Amino acid sequence: MARILSGIQPSGTLHIGNYFAMMKPMIGYQKEHELFCFIVNYHAMTSMQDGDDLRKNTIEAALDFLALGLDPDRAYFWVQSDVPEVTELSWILSCYTSLGLLERSHSYKDKVAKGIVPNAGLFTYPILMAADILLYKSQIIPVGRDQKQHVEITRDIAERFNGMYGEIFVIPEPLISEDISVIPGTDGQKMSKSYGNTINIFETEKELKSKVMKIVTDSTPVADPKDPEKCNVFAIYRLFADREKTAAMKEKYLKGGTGYGEVKKELYPMIWEFFRPYREKREELRKDIGEVVNILKKGAEKTRKIAVMTLDEVKHAVGLVYH
């Protein structure tokens, strides 16, 4: 049984790209592995500085996780800021991290290149991420390709620390799923809130239909054959259809005579029905937010027992324990 750690920023409404690329496989890990799953509200502060929004989005993210199947009795589920040991470890690790290592971070340079005004939190983001991973002696870190370098930075920090003080930290391995290709948004680019091209998990039926019908397609006439592998609608369709339906739709594309509008009309009710049980569970959970908060607090208490033990090892090693 491996110890797997993953988190998500409470940065707004979840979309189907989040679900298939991250949340679905992650929630699946709880069946056979030791899953550590948390809401990374400290990380969110690098770009979100409205306190009311952060509070609201933290609860919304918790509702999403629980509605989509995360079991707090099987997994460790908490809010990042409820385990203060992570910021203490982050400071310690910052004293063992070279400036050059942070300056090489692709994520930081990409954000600056896009015009985001950087703050110190954004620059030191990889150290806090390293603390998140190393504090719980996590073995496997599921990440997208854009986050792989952060895991590599974590490995560098841990290996340097272990070289000085002994085998205190577990050296984590990134897990990048090759099964889930980039999920296109309604405009054909990668689905992302920053592009405004998402299809959200918990849309109203009217909003869902509107977004699906706006998915960008090429101008191939209805009667002509079409390439399903180059179609944004088909890329989303195959996420929700079983193998038989996917194969049948692929055949229709290649044969010709099927218009994109027809496929969209079949797609949007499939999405609506797929998320129906999750939507209903979320509505039930919302009726008792106090219980949701209680679940998060209990998760933090359970998680802190591990965090405290790791931090004690680190503090003894570096000399912060002097008696």
Active site residues: 111, 190, 193
Across-strand partners of 184?
A: 190
| Nearest in space to 279 (alpha carbons), one of 203, 166, 169 | 203
DSSP secondary structure, 74-93, as one string: TSEEEEGGG-THHHHHHHHH
H or E element, residue 36? strand 34-39
Q: Do residues 146 and 107 touch, judged by C-beta distance below 8 A?
A: yes
Beta strands across the sheet bearing 34-39: 76-79, 34-39, 3-8, 140-142, 173-175
Task: Quickly list H helices, the chain.
Answer: 16-18, 24-29, 41-44, 51-67, 85-94, 99-103, 106-113, 120-123, 125-135, 148-165, 205-213, 232-240, 243-255, 260-274, 276-286, 289-318
- CA torsion 293-298-301-303 (nearest 10°) is -100
Say how far apart CA 165 and CA 162 lie, in whole Å: 5
Whole-number Å distance between alpha carbons of 111 and 117: 8
Find residue 39's DSSP bridge partners.
8, 79
* DSSP 8-class letter at 111: H
Which residue(s) pair with 79 in the sheet? 39
